[in-house]
Structures are given as C-alpha cells and as structure tokens.
Structure 1
Amino acid sequence: MSPSLAAPEPARERAGRGRDDACPGALRLHAADDGALARIRVPGGLLTAEQALALATAAEELGDGALETTSRGNVQLRGLAADAGAELAARLTEAALLPSLSHDRVRNIVATPLAGLDGGTEGGIDLRPWIRELDALLCASDTARALSGRFLFALDDGRGDVAALDADVTLIARPDGSALLRLGRADWCAEAVDGPRAALRAAEEFVGLADGAWRVREADPDGTRLAARLGLTPRPLPELTGRRPVVGVQAGAIGVGLRFGRATADQWRALAGAASAAANELRVTPGAPSCCPVSPRAWHPGSPPGACAPTPARPGRAPPPAPAPPAAPSRSPMCAPTRPQRWRPPTSPVPCPSTGPAARAAAATPPAPGWTCSPPDRAAT
C-alpha cells in the first residue's frame, strides 16, 4: 500500500516476520488511544530554530500541544486527527523535514550529539556533512525504500558514544576523513574511504539478503554474509569508551533534560529561542538530553549563566506566558544539575542549570507543586 497523506496507513504484510514493522512515521500515522501519532525523523537529531518552531506550531494546531523526543533522537506528535496527515505532510515539507515521501521511515540516523561542539580529544570531528550526505543518498536510493523502519545508522565521531547503540550500520570517523564500518553486532570492523557511501551500500546489500528480517542482527548476526557481499577485509574493532552528554552546561553546549521526553509547544519554542540566539541549531540527542550549542547571546540579559533566552513571540501575537506547572505524574522539561535537587521554575518556560550562587539560592527555595529537577527519561524508540 502506498503512503497515505490522509489517514493512518496499516502495516504491510512481509515475508519472514509475518508483516512489516509497525513503526509510525510522518505519513504512516499510528492510531493510539489519544488520537493519531506521527513520528518525524530528524537525521542526526539536527534541527534549525525555524524547524523547531514549525514542529511546535504543528503540535499546537494539529495535535495535543506537546512534543515528545525518542531514544533515536526523533520527534513525535500525539493527539492528531485521523485525517491530519495531509496537512502535517505539507507543513513538514515546507520546513524541509520531509524531503522524500517514499523514504520517510528509513531516514533513521543517530550521531554523536557533541560532535564538532566540545572539541574533545576523544573525537571532535564535525559529523554534519556526513549526516546530510547519508540522508541525501538514502532518499535517492530506490533500494533503500525497502529498509525496515527499525533499520538504524549510527555515525560516531570517534569517541564511541553512539557506536554502542546497537545500530545496523555504524560509521566511526577517523581524523583523516575516512571511517571504520561496523555491521550489526559484529566484533570486527572494516576500513571505508567514503563513509556515507559505504553505509548506503551496506544497507542496500542487506535488503538483498534480509528475507523479511528488519535488522542486520536477525539476518546476519556476525556480519560475515554482508562482509562477503561487500568484499570487506575485517580488522579488530577498537575499544570505544566515549562519554555522552549530561544535563547542564558543558563544553560547547547546554544539555536540556526533558521529563519523560515530553515538552509543551511553548517550552519547545523556548528551546528554539535559545538555539536561535546561539548557532541556530538544536540537537535532539539519542537517549540523552537535548543540546543547544553555547553562545553568549543565548543567555537572558541580566540572568546568571544557565538562564535560557526568553521565548520568542509568534508573528502577530504577544509573547506566550509561562505554562502552569503540569499535574503529576507528567512533568515539564527541566534542565537538571548533575545532582538531582528541588527547583523553583523561573519565568523562562525551560530553565537551564547554573552552578553559581543563584542556583544554590534557588535550590534552597521550596519548589512549586509539580516541578522537580531530574535526569531525562528514555522515550520510546
């Protein structure tokens, strides 16, 4: 069945597993108890401030007014009408978030969140060119359309954080611009001169041997069959002991933890405002806090380090007020310090952490009901 823009699309039957995977997409909506659910792929978790604002507006006008992040760094909208698909697709296309209708669910790419931001000695290679190239190659490949919605690419800058996420095809960047290619759960890797093209070729070859399997580990647990088809020469897999982002201010970025991975549209706009004041970029990270690149312009004037920029006003409207604290058990997104503690929300809808006197004073203030600082929770894949 071809993708429908008007109604949820039922999962297709598929040999080997009985039916196709049921992963939702931007076009294949999932019928949930609270309405239709759309999952918007965000390759590498990269969003411009304008794209983040477009998602917030879509959540508010088409859905239940909230956005969810997933463990693969994608974004979900809930509470959609069954016939909202066409309008949502049009909005996503205009925001450059849906470049191919036929490849919507296969654009599953996670990347090292801090790549190119923190200048770390463990990695520090900017992966954005690879992310964009691999996404473009996928969308141009007719063969790649047959990949499962669960097939996952991981691009690691060398520090080893996303290389451990059980992806189907993993690229580990090297300082000379080449890559190490790992297939599924193989305990070996192979050298690749052109990382993105090597990753695409591996995925296309997997389609030829999958026989209904969704993941490489199901069809080729040790990667030897794919290696033979690709003509790879195995070499030892390097030890990968990288670190992942934390909630709070860190080198090059602010880590923002979302309670249950969920944010209101106004809180999402606050994040977009902070991103706009910095590098015009927001990174939705896989299974970790979202990151805004750091810039002095991102701080609210007169506030201590860690206070996010105010929510931008929407055209023709007054600036939105700070949302009321949600009822338990749902909690609004909070930036937490490294040690969980009670927190009173300031005027910014998404407060960010500070380690100075202001933070200690706020920690000593009794919290408003329903608001706590806590580490982020993993959302559904």
Structure 2
Amino acid sequence: MLAAMPDSAPSPVSAGGASPRAGGDACPGTLRLHRADDGALARVRIPGGVLDPGRADALLVAAERFGDGELHLTSRGNVQLRGLGTECGGGLAGLLTDAGLLPSAAHERARNIVASPLAGLDGSPSLAGWLAELDRLVCGSPAAAALSGRFLFALDAGGGDVDALGADVTLIARGPDALLRIGAGDEVFRVPADAAPRAALRAAEAFLRAAHGGGAAHVAAAAPGSGALQDSGSPASAASQDSGSSVPAASQASGSPASAPQVSAAWRVRDLPDDVRTELVRSIGATAGPAVHHPRPRPRKAAAPAPGPVGATAAVSVGVPLGRLTPAQWRLLTETARRYGGELRLTPWRGIVVPGPFPRQEAAEALRALAGAGLITTADSPWTGVGACIGHPGCAKSLADVRAEAGAVVSGEGSAATAAGRSAAGAEAGAAVGRPGRLPVYWSGCERRCGHPHGEWIDVVATPDGHRISHVRGERREPATTVRNDDPARLAAAVAEARAL
C-alpha cells in the first residue's frame, strides 16, 4: 500500500513552512512507500552503510525487477529505489527479507545508523562490533520501533567525521572507552566501550519517554547506566527479535505492524522543548558518569573520504555523481568488493568505500575502471561536492530539473564565457565553472531542500522566478542572490563564484 505523503519534512533552513510535526512522520521505508511522480519510492536502511556483495546483488535485483534499475544513495548512507510499481510491496519485502536486509518489520525505519566509513582502514579503530550490536539491540527493543524515520544514531571512530552530522545519539571511540553524546550538545559522557551500544539504545529509549511527555521521572528511568534492559528491552514478538531473525513477507507487506508503539510527537532530540532536552541529558548523565566537555566538530567542509586510494591502498574511495548509480556502475562496484575484501561501505556523503586490501598496482587498476564507469576517483573532479535533490520530473513539488542544471554547470555548458565577460569577478567565476569549488553546493527544486548537506555549503533553490543562491553556515545564512530563469550563463557563473568563497 502506498502512502501519498512527502518523503521528508521541510528543512530547518527553509524560509517559513509548517512545523515538521504537523503532518506526522512520513519518512518512507520498504514497507511504507512514498508516491512520487516517477512511481513509488522505497528507502532501504543499511546500518553503517555496510553491504556484503550478496546483499548488494539483491538491491540491484530489486531495482531492476520492481523499479527503474538505478540505486540512489542518501545522506545517511542508505539506498533508495525509485520508479517502483504500485503492486510491488509484497514482492519487494520478500526479496529484501530473504537477503537479510529487512530483519524486523517493526523496526525497518528505525535502523538509521551512520558510521565512520574509514573505521579500521586509516589507523582508526574498527566499529564493526558496535555496529552489529547496536543494530541487534534496536531490532530487539519494542520501544525502539516508535523511533521516527528521522532519528539518527552515529558511530564515530574518533576523527569527528560523523560526529559532525549532529545525530540524536552519537558514540565516539576514545581509547578503551566511548564517549556518548546526546543531540548536538558539547557535553559527552564516558562509558565503557563494551557497554556503549546498550548505552546508545537506552539513551534513545529515554528520548522516547521524554518525547511522549513522561517528564523527568520517566526520563530518568530509561537512563543508559541503569543496568540491563527491562520491559522496553525484551523482544515482544518474533517480528521484533534480533537482527538474525526474519519476518514473513506477508506481514512486512502490510506496512503497519499492529503491535508497533505510537510514534513520538517529537521526531528528534532537537525537537524537544529546551527544558525537556536539558532534563534528558541530565538524567542520562546521572548514571552514565561525569560529563566531559567535548565540542561537536563543526568543520567548514563535510568530512567525506577523499576519492582515491585510502591508507596505503588498504581501500579505495569513490564519489557518486548526484548519488545516482546505474546498474553497470553498481555491478562494477559489487564485483570489485567481491574480489577485494568482500564489503562495500556507503557513506553519508553519497560515496562508497571498498575496504580491500588492494595490492598497490591493483588499486590503481580498480580506480581506473571505476573512473571509466563515471565515478569520482580524484579530488579535482568537477563533480566533487556537488549534490541535488531528485528534482523535476521525479518530484511534483520541484520547480526545476535541478539535476540537469547541476550537470550543465559541472560540464561547463551554459556559455560561462558570456557571463565571464561582464566583469572581472564574473570572469574569475566563469573560469571556475566545471572545476571543483572550495565549498559544496546543493541544488534543490523547492524550499524543502530534501537531502541537503550539513555545516557550510552553497544553497541553490529553484523559485518561480529563478534560482536563489545563498551561503549557509550551520543554521545561519548570508543574504541571497537571485538569478533569473532566462540567464543560465549567469546562473553557472554565480554558483561558481559562491563556491569559491
């Protein structure tokens, strides 16, 4: 059954717009699909972005059997399938279940976990144990089924890359211990490393109690240091057991497990009232240990892995133009993983890391093949840092085909030389068209800005009259420049000029 609802809430940087809680949590999943202009959309959660070749094969089969054949990476390292038929629900659920990609019908939208994609490859510690355990615990908690599709866990290997994303619950590797961050605050709590996944789950359960209006007493009851999981941690049914269990396709296809708890009125930690959020953090700290001042990283640019070889060719990293992969590209990546190391890691920056290890010469050969397939393998690619929402014609809300527009700017189409001749500043910007900019740029077809990056970036939004270009720094934005729809050359130059700041 399809839900004709938007696939994300209005962006917090949007001008105006309704409260994101006004219409309920409409995040799509694999059981609750989103109806778009190009067909139905399914979002498959991939905890930590980690896929083995067999599951990667299954995703491609799903895309080709039920959808348009392409696989779209999201800003949380998940995969979207587009162009799905309206009657595909049961078949899609069955295929994904058989592949191990849908371990719990009740939790399929709650398994939002990002992890440092280079963990264990660049001298940082491996996060594989944390990732497997946290996913198992989430799928084993009936309470966690009430987490919204927007609630996010992050596992950071210590370098701050995914810590900077501002997840709701973040674990940071720090020597023999872990640091637990709640929301985007600068205070963290030190917990034993072997207890870290359980502490993260308990923090999420405490959030749910707070979000449901339970008050300080209920928040404190779910603090992460209060011992073994109690009523909220024991599986209530086979549909919510650990990640090794499977669920019959018939129950998954319904899209609404009857036993799922009521969804919270607050989707994320930042949605809580200030006093409730403060009490949530205080109560967790009361049992987790003393707070440590550890400011959340706020880098100017996203901490995406640089394309190319990683860690003396222990791995290779590639970017994916606009996050969209053709069947041929996906097959090449899957076969590369199958040959070297047996794993793909999808990143929150719409890239992919193949861990390897690669013999040095073979790493170079693999990168040449991936570059030949149209993937980003060097930092000087003009596609580096360029992103866009699906735009028109896939989305009815979009006012422009922003992917085509972004591609035209990257390729230098639109007569940059014409714009460059108007001024010295224009000439410098025109020369930059088709080359990577210092800042990332994200093209949005409407004010919702679905999938936009975090931190500092150039925001290009289609409007009825043209494109509005502004410089975003966290929640702050500089005064915008608007370029008319009938001046593509000036648009290309203005975007390049803004990215060069």
Q: Report if TM-score (shorter chain) is over 0.5.
A: yes
CA contact (8 A) 1:11 1:21 kept: no
State how far apart, in whole Å, the 2-side matches of 1:41 and 1:291 are. 17
- Corresponding residue for residue 213 of structure 1: 266
Counterpart selection for 2:40 from 21, 36, 39: 36
2:380 is the counterpart of 1:339:
yes
Q: From 219, 227, 250, give the equivalent of 2:281.
A: 227
Contact 1:337 1:373 in 2 (8 A): no
Normalized against structure 1, the TM-score is what?
0.76
- Contact 1:299–1:308 (CA<8 Å) still a contact in 2? no
Once the two structures are superposed, residues 88-135 of structure 1 have per-residue CA deviations (whole angstroms, 9 ceiling, x without a partner) of: 11111111111000000000000001001121xxxx110011011000
Q: Relative to structure 1, is the Cα distance of residues 305 and 33 closer, same or farther in structure 2, using a 3 angstrom cutoff?
A: closer
Task: Output the amino acid matched with 2:267.
Answer: W
Alignment of 1:42-191 (within 5 A): 42-119=46-123, 124-176=124-176, 178-191=177-190
Matched with 1:345 is none
Cα deviation code 1:256-301 (max 9, x no counterpart) = 1111100112210110000111110000000252111133379779
Would you say the 8 A contact 1:259–1:374 is kept in 2? no
Task: Name the aligned partner's letter for residue 199 of structure 1.
Answer: A
Instruction: Report if the CA contact (8 A) 2:5-2:34 is conserved.
Output: no
**Counterpart for residue 352 of structure 2:** 290
Match of 2:310 in 1: 250
Q: Is the 8 A contact 1:274 1:308 kept in 2?
A: no
Question: Counterpart in 1 of 2:342?
Answer: 280
Q: Closer, same or farther in 2 for the Cα pair 1:164/1:239, shift >3 Å?
A: closer
- The Cα offsets for residues 117-162 of structure 1, whole Å up to 9 and x where unpaired, read as 121xxxx110011011000100000110111110000100111110
Q: Deviations over 1:52-92 (max 9, x none)?
A: 11111111111001000000000000000111111111111
Identity, in percent, stands at: 46
Kept in 1, the 8 Å contact 2:110–2:144? The answer is: yes
Residues 257 and 333 in structure 1, CA contact (< 8 A), matched pair in contact too: no
Q: Distance in 1 between matches of 2:319 and 2:441?
A: 8
- 1:300·1:309 contact (CA, 8 Å) conserved in 2? no
Contact kept in structure 1, 2:184 and 2:296, CA below 8 Å: no
1:360-371 alignment, distance < 5 Å: none
Instruction: Work out the CA distance in 2 between the residues paired with 1:287 and 1:37.
Output: 20
2:368 to 303, 307, 330: 307
**Secondary structure, counterpart of 1:335 in structure 2:** coil
The TM-score normalised by the length of structure 2 is 0.59
**1:237 is aligned to 2:302:** no
- Provide the C-alpha distance between the structure 2 equivalents of 1:46 and 1:221, rounded to a whole number of angstroms: 35
Q: Which amino acid aligns with 1:278?
A: Y
Q: Secondary structure at the match of 1:171?
A: strand
**Letter in structure 1 aligned against 2:171:** L
SS of structure 2 residue aligned to 1:105:
coil
**Separation (CA, whole Å) in 1 of partners of 2:374 and 2:317:** 12
Pick closer, same or farther for the CA change 1:11–1:204 going to 2, 3 Å.
farther
Say which structure is richer in helix. 2
Task: Return 5+ residue gaps in structure 1 as ranges.
Answer: 1-6, 311-321, 323-331, 343-366
CA distance in 2, matches of 1:340, 1:17: 39
Alignment pair present for 1:262 and 2:324 = yes
Bigger mean CA offset, 143-152 vs 17-26: 17-26
- 1:139, 1:158 → 2: CA distance? 26
Q: CA RMSD in A?
A: 3.1
- Structure 2 runs not aligned, ≥5 long: 7-18, 213-264, 384-410, 414-433, 443-449, 453-501
Instruction: Give the Cα separation in 2 of the matches to 1:216 and 1:116.
Output: 29
Letter paired with 1:225: E
* TM-superposed deviation, 1:226: 1.1
Aligned partner of residue 148 in structure 1, secondary structure: coil
* CA contact 1:138–1:144 (8 Å) conserved in 2: yes
Cα offsets for 1:9-39 (capped at 9, x unmatched): 4679xx9923421110011100000100000
